Amino acid sequence: MDRYERLSTLLDMLGQRGKVDVDDLADELGVSAATIRRDLDHLAEQQLLTRTRGGAVANNVAYDLPLRYKTARHASEKERIGKAAAAMVARGTVVGLNGGTTTTEIARALAIRPDFNQSDEPALTVVTNALNIANELAVRPHVKIVVTGGVARPQSFELSGPLATRILDEITLDVVFLGVDAVDPVHGAYAHHEGEASINRLMAERARRVIVIADSSKLGRHAFAQICPVTAIRLLITDSAAPSDAVAAFEDAGVEVHIV
């Protein structure tokens, strides 16, 4: 386990328990108490937790982790999902990508697709509200990148707010790939942050096809703000650890499930 994976695990454990103890963490993670203290001090500097004597307690922000920590979670699954999603995109498609670690993997896979790199003319258009995705694709001549306006949220690099909706009101997407914090076969897709949910909802409404991309840890869960109902989702791409009963529930709800 590298450092970012350990930091992500620490935040997960803290979010579940509310408070943690240095010695207990050291035993559970198989590292020294000194290493745990340094990790907790680092996370406290990022205002992701509050240090206590012998441990730490959760801050509210710990439940919605910054992108740099989310990247380490289920990394191989997200990469597989990203490649599978990118392979579904045809030349000339207008693609919507919201922010998140899995959508970032889609962007990276699109950036290096050999059949899209054969000329300097744009092979596809990507519309995104994610600054990090725009940054990765802006240097690719075969991708026409369109960025919504809005106010940047540091945790996710997503733009949201009234300024972000103006451009989306005037365009149509062939497909939108939605990265989500949770997706449920009854209630649909969710985000932790209401501002991100709002802009993601508009992207879904402007798309001819809505595809949710989510690793198996997000299935059957809820978060604070709904993005779209399950009836709006055409396809769910997830990983092979998805429980069979969850897959069946989505299929019963009319959602095609693609497992990678």
pLDDT at residue 45 in the model? 85
Q: Find residue 178's DSSP bridge partners.
A: 212
pLDDT at residue 73 in the model? 57
pLDDT at residue 74 in the model? 62
The Cα 61–Cα 206 span in angstroms is 31
- Report how far apart, in Å, the C-alpha atoms of 217 and of each of 36, 78, 106, 222, 238 are: 25, 11, 19, 11, 9
- Which residue is associated with the tokens 């909802």? 201
pLDDT at residue 61 in the model? 43
pLDDT at residue 4 in the model? 74
Dihedral over Cα of 46, 74, 90, 183: its sign: negative
* Structure-token pair, residue 108: 């990276």
pLDDT at residue 245 in the model? 96
pLDDT at residue 22 in the model? 96
Q: Residues in the chain with pLDDT < 70? A: 59-74
CB atoms near residue 64 (< 10 Å): 18
Residue 30 main-chain phi, psi, to 5 deg: 70, 35
The Cα 113–Cα 119 span in angstroms is 12
pLDDT at residue 191 in the model? 92
